[in-house]
Structure 1
């Protein structure tokens, strides 16, 4: 389905748990030039569904329009909050967890307080541009405030790895770069216990 935003239409794919109301709503989005078919996103989706959560994969307006670069953060964030508002109308009264990979993780962190998210999943959070550690995006990660955030990054990520002190949990996947070729079971094993706090007993 499509959700209209001030930046253009976004496309969303909704997956619901079978035979029961969702325990939580997990909304995930892609990196700058990627899509919601990234294997790490799908590993997190599958884990959340097994725990009884509803999962929404969001293709942001700039990607629907065929662009690879997200543009200004203010425009991207405003559109994201509009998407979240529309989804909340479909999933009333359940905890919201939002996240994404790379640029999507940045959006999720920056908007978490305004979205009133209960948690954030940050996959391959790009701490800085490759080779430019002085241009840190640490402030975006810290924008979550007191909201729990779990970070999963590859050990060889040229975009850097957040400091463990700056998140609730930082998991480093050995041998992996910014895009994962393996380690999806490890990602799922990290995310599953973290999501359990919102899952039914």
Structure 2
């Protein structure tokens, strides 16, 4: 069951949509949205639908610029600052917290993970050939999963640099930046959620 929480930040309210983990709680996955899509993006909703059954609480984070409708609040410095302000709320359950995001949201997660001591980083559709940078991605300092469409114009899997052993890259065949595929989006989303769920199981103690 989804619960929305509006949280004050230094630049206005953010919205966090909470999807509580079922059974014994294992972790919190905080996920930020991209520039063109909000928290209703199909991949984020797919994670929110499937991961709670594994004991993972999913927190989908809507940045203030979308909540208040002010594009001037969408710069990376502000996005990172808001994420840092919200982070103690994610930690309040005293569970491991994984930082995640799609596209621009994945950049925020990558840039802040080390300082915030996130357990790990989930990067969906990382914009390697857009505003992103290989250095930003490689400097997370945390185990990192990248899920990338095979036809993503912002970075196909083959274009990524060599990754250290702590980082994994999963390709969704023929998918674009928002995981549209010619063979049916649900099949692509199933691949995505299976990959993320398996990776989270490897980062966390076994579910009770």
Alignment partner, residue 132 of structure 1: none
Q: Is the 8 A contact 2:47 2:58 kept in 1?
A: no
Alignment partner, residue 57 of structure 2: 54
1:150 aligns with 2:145: yes
For the residues of structure 1 that align with 2:194 and 2:168, how far apart are their CA atoms?
A: 13
- Cα distance change, pair 122–189 in 1 and its aligned pair in 2 (3 A): same
Task: State the superposition RMSD in angstroms.
Answer: 1.8
Higher relative contact order, chain-length normalized (CA < 8 Å, sep 6+): 1
Give 4+ residue runs of structure 1 displaced > 6 Å after superposition: none
Q: Give the unaligned 5+ runs of structure 2.
A: none
* TM-score normalised per structure 2: 0.85
Aligned length in residues = 192
Deviation of 1:164 (Å):
5.1
Alignment partner, residue 34 of structure 2: 31
- One of 163, 166, 171 as aligned partner of 1:165: 163
Deviation of 1:4 (Å):
1.0
SS at 1:100's partner residue?
strand
- Cα distance change, pair 136–56 in 1 and its aligned pair in 2 (3 A): closer
Which region of structure 1 is more displaced relative to structure 2, 111-120 or 190-199? 190-199
SS at 2:137's partner residue?
helix
Deviation of 1:136 (Å):
5.7
- One of 137, 151, 158 as aligned partner of 2:133: 137
Alignment partner, residue 66 of structure 2: 63
Q: Give the unaligned 5+ runs of structure 1.
A: 130-134
SS at 2:171's partner residue?
strand
- One of 2, 9, 15 as aligned partner of 1:11: 15
